[in-house]
Amino acid sequence: MTNSTFIIPCKIDSSVRYDNILLVVDYLQKHTTSNIVVYESDKKQNLSFTNNKKLKYIFERSESDYFHRTKILNKMLNEVETQITINYDCDVLLNPETYIKAENKILNENFDLVYPYGFEQNDQRLIPNTEEHRYNLKKNLNITDTSLYKTALCRYGHVQFFKTKSYRQGFMENENYRHWGPEDVERCIRFQKLEYNVCWMPGTLVFHLEHPLSVKQPHVDKQEILKLHDFLMSLSKEKLYEYYKNQSYLKDYKNE
């Protein structure tokens, strides 16, 4: 999987989240040959990874109370040099063969955006935050008996495989979504409206490492974000393109 780069934004808001990101990075290093970029943004540094040819860790000191995930993803995407970019949550695992199948959807079948699970399917497996469920996973970095885990629906989040060129030309992440927001939905609908090739992989499982809910941040106006989201959902292809071409944040990044 040398054609791919994982970009993983994170903010350590609990000891569980800390354990999750360490487990995820170890798992990816064992089961893929891809580049991995971890970007921590917080008031203090919590992680400490040793950089090497395949792993790059970035810490950004931020005094902000909210986690500007979309902006961080754009910063990472701007540095990607591989054909494929994998927008990856820090609490997610896939079966090893799924990474390869999703990558091949882009390399060999000309998709621009691939979701490695089914849409509105019970393809999510929830791994509880208990030693009983996690011991073997931490020890062996392998997912074994999937029947141990509860099921849940999948739609848009968790992980997306992008053709890097399309991700950039499709206007990247919308930085007007700050900390909280349905940006996962907007991203997908946008790429469909702009007529990029988008697909899901029904029957393919995604595993979510459960964690405490993030503390709601005081400076995020939920109604303002919902208003933005409803506006974007209402736009035609032409109006959507016009809106994005006028977004000031785009000037800070590559578009090629």
The average pLDDT across 96-117 equals 97
Q: Tell me, what CATH number does 73's domain have? A: 3.90.550.10
Q: Which two tokens stand for residue 113?
A: 């955006």
Tell me what pLDDT residue 218 has. Answer: 52
Segments forming the whole domain that contains residue 45: 4-252
The predicted-structure confidence for 161-181, as pLDDT tens digits, reads as follows: 999 999 999 999 999 998 667
Total tally of structural domains belonging to the chain? 1
Q: Is the pLDDT of residue 215 over 70?
A: no
pTM metric for this prediction? 0.95
Taking only the tens place, the pLDDT of each residue in 80-99 is 999 999 999 999 999 999 99
Mean pLDDT (whole number) for 30-59:
93
Ranking 71-75, 119-123, 153-157, 221-225 by mean pLDDT, the lowest is: 221-225
* Residue 33 pLDDT greater than 70, yes or no: yes
